[in-house]
């Protein structure tokens, strides 16, 4: 579709609308290049600045990314996760038709902290998992990929007394939640979760293959077994450009019992900090 040069709508805006529609229709497939700036200039009879402004809109919407010297590429649709379901990464990927995989970065039992930062982290985790400071904590850090694309760094802490056996399994190829439920007889019941924004540091950027300072979603999860005891405290760092969280909410009166209990639920001390 062309553009209307007599319209009150800016030209860059019309071009962005056309490109957006073509991406949504599948004319330009994920991971393929958009026409070059010169091609778009010729196609619409506009200046380079106008084409660039149109592309900038699509970049801001996350529909395309720029690759230096190669042009603009269509991004794949974001992974959508419902906040109402307690899913493992494996189940989340399967729900999106993607193949999950993992690379273990660290897997060890934490005994005595090596410095103050580790000490305060262990104290925070012990508090969340309702452990004493003397109890051992199993720490597993994995990079998780979907169809080979790095998506999230998972940092999970488990009570070692309950889950040290995880170290005997192939957690690069097997789902931890499946091992817990099918092999170790720990059935997961519910979880408290919180979501914050964070930018990636140099190490996280290298692992996730993104530029330093990229936006990420930090999702903290405290998962409980059906019997009620906490079994996992996790801090997951998702690439914000690849994940979309969904939740449906119900309107309730400001001071109803239900809304009070829900807001209390949100500030449970276990997930603060
Ligand atoms: C999600 C959760 C993590 C959990 C992981 C288990 O990513 N946020 O807390 O450790 O799933 O995934 P899997 O069972 O695929 O190993």
Centre of ligand 1 from the C-alpha of residue 189, in Å: 14
Give backbone dihedrals phi and psi of 197, rounded to 5 degrees, phi first.
-95, 150
- Atom of ligand 1 at shortest range from CA of 156: 10
- C-beta 235 within 6 A of ligand 1: no
**Closest Cα to atom 7, ligand 1: which residue?**
89
For residues 66 and 14, which has the higher predicted lDDT (pLDDT)?
A: 14
User: Tens digits of per-residue pLDDT, 138-171?
Assistant: 999 999 999 999 999 999 999 999 999 999 999 9
Residue 70 — very low, low, confident or very high, per pLDDT cuts 50/70/90?
confident
The sign of the CA dihedral 167, 168, 174, 180 is: negative
Q: Which two tokens stand for residue 261?
A: 């209990």
- As a whole number, the mean pLDDT across the chain is 90
- C-beta 90 within 6 A of ligand 1: yes
Residue 62 — very low, low, confident or very high, per pLDDT cuts 50/70/90?
confident
- Atom of ligand 1 at shortest range from CA of 178: 14
263 pLDDT higher than 50: no
Centre of ligand 1 from the C-alpha of residue 88, in Å: 4
Mean pLDDT throughout 191-216?
95
Contact 78, 62 (CB under 8 A): yes
Residue 198 — very low, low, confident or very high, per pLDDT cuts 50/70/90?
very high
CA angle 143, 145, 149 (to 5 degrees): 120
> What does the radius of gyration of the chain's CA atoms come to, in whole angstroms?
23
Choosing from 146, 176, 181, 243 the residue with most ligand 1 atoms within 8 A of its CB, the one to mutate for a pocket test is: 176
Residue 39 — very low, low, confident or very high, per pLDDT cuts 50/70/90?
very high
User: Tens digits of per-residue pLDDT, 82-117?
Assistant: 888 999 999 999 998 999 999 999 999 998 777 888
Give backbone dihedrals phi and psi of 234, rounded to 5 degrees, phi first.
-130, 145
Share of the chain above pLDDT 70, in %: 93
pLDDT reported for residue 266? 43
- C-beta 54 within 6 A of ligand 1: no
Q: How many angstroms separate the CA atoms of 15 and 133, rounded?
A: 60
- C-beta 44 within 6 A of ligand 1: no
Centre of ligand 1 from the C-alpha of residue 175, in Å: 7
pLDDT reported for residue 257? 60
- C-beta 221 within 6 A of ligand 1: yes
pLDDT reported for residue 10? 96
Q: What DSSP character marks residue 255?
A: T
Share of the chain above pLDDT 90, in %: 73
pLDDT reported for residue 264? 43
Helix or strand holding residue 193 (H, E): strand 188-199
Q: Which two tokens stand for residue 162?
A: 């309950």
269 pLDDT higher than 50: no
User: Tens digits of per-residue pLDDT, 213-262?
Assistant: 999 999 999 999 999 999 999 999 999 989 999 988 889 887 766 545 44
Contact 259, 253 (CB under 8 A): yes
Centre of ligand 1 from the C-alpha of residue 177, in Å: 7
């Amino acid at each position: 579709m062309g553009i209307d040069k007599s319209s009150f709508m800016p030209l860059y805006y019309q071009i962005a609308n056309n490109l957006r529609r073509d991406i949504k229709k599948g004319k330009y497939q994920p991971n393929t290049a958009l026409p070059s700036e010169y091609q778009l200039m010729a196609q619409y009879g506009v200046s380079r600045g106008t084409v660039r402004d149109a592309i900038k809109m699509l970049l801001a919407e996350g529909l395309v990314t720029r690759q230096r010297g190669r042009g603009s590429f269509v991004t794949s649709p974001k992974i959508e996760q419902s906040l109402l379901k307690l899913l493992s990464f494996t189940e989340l990927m399967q729900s999106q038709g993607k193949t999950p995989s993992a690379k273990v970065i660290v897997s060890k039992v934490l005994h005595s902290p090596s410095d103050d930062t580790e000490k305060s982290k262990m104290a925070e985790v012990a508090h969340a998992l309702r452990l004493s400071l003397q109890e051992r904590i199993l720490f597993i850090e994995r990079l998780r990929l979907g169809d080979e694309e790095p998506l999230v760094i998972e940092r999970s802490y488990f009570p070692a007394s309950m889950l040290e056996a995880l170290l005997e399994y192939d957690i690069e190829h097997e789902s931890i939640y499946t091992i817990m439920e099918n092999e170790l007889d720990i059935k997961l019941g519910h979880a408290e979760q919180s979501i914050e924004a964070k930018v990636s540091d140099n190490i996280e950027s290298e692992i996730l293959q993104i530029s330093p300072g990229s936006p990420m979603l930090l999702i903290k999860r405290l998962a409980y077994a059906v019997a009620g005891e906490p079994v996992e405290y996790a801090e997951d760092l998702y690439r914000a450009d690849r994940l979309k969280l969904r939740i449906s909410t119900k309107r309730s009166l400001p001071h109803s019992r239900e809304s009070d209990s829900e807001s209390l639920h949100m500030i449970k001390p276990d997930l603060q900090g």
